[in-house]
Amino acid sequence: MLPLQVRSALLSLVILVLALGVWEALNQPPEASEGLSEFELLMGGADQEARVPPPSDVLSHAWAELSNPFYDAGPNDKGIGIQLAYSLYRVLTGFFAAALVAIPLGFLVGMSPLMYRALNPFIQVLRPISPLAWMPLALFVIKDSEQSAIFVIFICSIWPMLINTAFGVAGVRRDWVRVAQTHELGALKTAYKVILPAAAPTIVTGMRISIGIAWLVIVAAEMLVGGTGIGYYVWNEWNNLDLNSVIFSILMIGIVGMVLDLILGRVERLVQYQE
Amino acid sequence: MSKHFLSVEGLKREFPAKDGPTVVFDNVNFGIEKGEFVCIIGHSGCGKSTILNVLAGLDQPTDGCVIMDGKEVSGPSLDRGVVFQNYSLLPWLTALQNVSFGVGARWPSWNKERVREHSARFLDMVGLGKAQDKKPAALSGGMRQRVSIARAFATSPKLLLLDEPFGALDALTRGVIQDELIKIWDETHQTVFMITHDVDEATLLSDRILLMTNGPNAKVAESVAINIERPRNRANIIEHPAYYKIRNHLVNFLVNRSGELRDASGEQGRYPVSVDPSADHESEAEPTGREEPAPVLKRQLT
């Protein structure tokens, strides 16, 4: 019997091949019922019916795109690398700005029952708002579509980090705080040397949730603001009726999202401790 | 006031309850000398841990005060090291880093190498030199408590407070660590105040044992001198002629008199009565029923 890892990998492969096979088989160009006219031959075949491109087309297109990801042939034609870089820039800027606000604020809320009670109603009302609902207001106030997109990322990243930080900080074992007290650590040193490492796993889990949400939201935000980015790219290729590119970019969105999650998962493991 | 190194004066602690505050203990007075090892024994709920927390500065008394080395205790301080029952190690740090955490806080001006050396020496002293890079999760309960003891001794506090440090350990491990504690204490002559439930443990370790009556409204009733010469060890202490006299006195107190004395509260003076069970002459504070030895089989009270 093969080890579980090998067996699961084999099964994954079988599922992939089956899915691609079915997809490929269902999306063949229709057989021409009669011979092509001279005009049709001239114009490039009888492929007039709109249909989802088969995976073979998508893959060869993906290969072409990925072998030259950073070309820039004007606003309507940029390489996938450039589009993804724009999206990542927005996501990371908004995300880290949110971390800068959410983590200290989370400490405050977690350490002070007064602040928790005072801020909780605001958090509860603001949290369920779809980040895209802020877009018109952001566009009006900021007057810049680029920064409005970053703001939307900021606002959607802030809540999981804020809530998890507050939760983690409030849940730090009393004994550990007492250890800090009996060693005469000041408030700042206690926060930095005891509470931060104690709450770090919960905080990083919040960051992981946040970056996942941010990556979901950036696609929608860029469809709205346009110009650059992977979200804009998907929508633009839809307008160009280039379904090869649409499917390819969907795939890329998934892969980049997975990589972001993997990175934060790694960080999570770094700060994890066993009691 | 008093010339003791540590003196506890008229200590009282109430906890709020539905029908008026509950007085855990009241009018608690005692002193501890420099270099003395003092244990306190009493039934659960008599407020031993609360007294220790007040001494540590982690809890505020309702009334009374604690004076150490001429200064009133008003908050936690590095002058008073604490070893908690549940070890209280920081799980993300290794054994050595946990000790260094204390040493670094105690002497902020020391460089890294000096902190490390000093910490490693104390880990060696408790026999954990080889495990210094392990995280607490990888250590057994006994080893964790040793790290905690090393952390406390390494900061050389003026007073070391031990809150039932061996309560969660099995009997064999407890014995081994008791021996280690004696060894370190012989080297450092640290002033120690320790809570325990175990009469034998208290007799083995301490110079003096404070006995508390039952709570609520508990008080420190007696101060029992342990006149058994040091160095002591677990194997030969039971051979000592005074050992069973002391033991019987303690068990008798806990089984019979800790409740009676509470009910007769108010009749005693401010300070606990000093008792020396090893002395052959009939002292006034000696319990009446000396001919009937206390039940020896009941080894540990919880």
Above 0.85 for ipTM, yes or no? Answer: no
pTM: 0.82
Q: Is B132 found in the same domain as B265? A: no
Cα separation, B162 vs A192, in Å, equals 27
Terminal Cα distance for chain A, rounded: 37
Task: Let me know if residue A25 belongs to a domain.
Answer: no
Q: Is B250 found in the same domain as B108? A: no
Report CB contact under 8 Å: A182, B91. no
Provide the shortest C-alpha distance from residue A202 to chain B (in Å): 14
Domain count, chain B: 2
Split at pLDDT 50, 70, 90, the class of B92 is very high
- Optimal mutation site among B82, B89, B92, interface A, most CBs of chain A within 10 A: B92
Provide the shortest C-alpha distance from residue B271 to chain A (in Å): 29
Report CB contact under 8 Å: A197, B90. yes
Q: Each residue's pLDDT tens digit in chain A (275 positions)? A: 889 999 999 999 999 999 999 999 888 776 666 666 676 666 665 555 667 888 888 999 999 989 888 888 887 788 899 999 999 999 999 999 999 999 999 999 999 999 999 999 999 999 999 999 999 999 999 999 899 999 999 999 999 999 999 999 999 999 899 999 999 998 899 999 999 999 999 999 999 999 999 999 999 999 998 889 999 999 999 998 889 999 999 999 999 999 999 999 999 999 999 88
Buried b (16+ CB within 10 A) or exposed e, B50-59: bbbbbbbbbe
Cα separation, A105 vs A110, in Å, equals 8
Cα separation, A98 vs A79, in Å, equals 29
Q: In DSSP terms, which residues pair with B81 in a beta bridge?
A: B160
Q: Is B21 found in the same domain as B108? A: no
Nearest to A245 by CA among A83, A30, A87: A83
Report CB contact under 8 Å: B88, A193. no
CATH of the domain at A229: 1.10.3720.10
Q: Is B169 found in the same domain as B36? A: yes
Query: Tokens 């997975």 label which residue?
Result: A258
pLDDT at B230 over 60: yes
* Interface check B13 vs A, CB under 8 A: no
Task: Let me know if residue A70 belongs to a domain.
Answer: yes
Judged by average pLDDT, the poorest of B33-42, B127-136, B242-251, B261-270 is B261-270
Q: Which domain holds residue B297?
A: 1-79+158-176+183-302
Q: Which domain holds residue A95?
A: 54-271
Provide the shortest C-alpha distance from residue A163 to chain B (in Å): 23
B73 contacts on A by Cβ (under 8 Å):
none
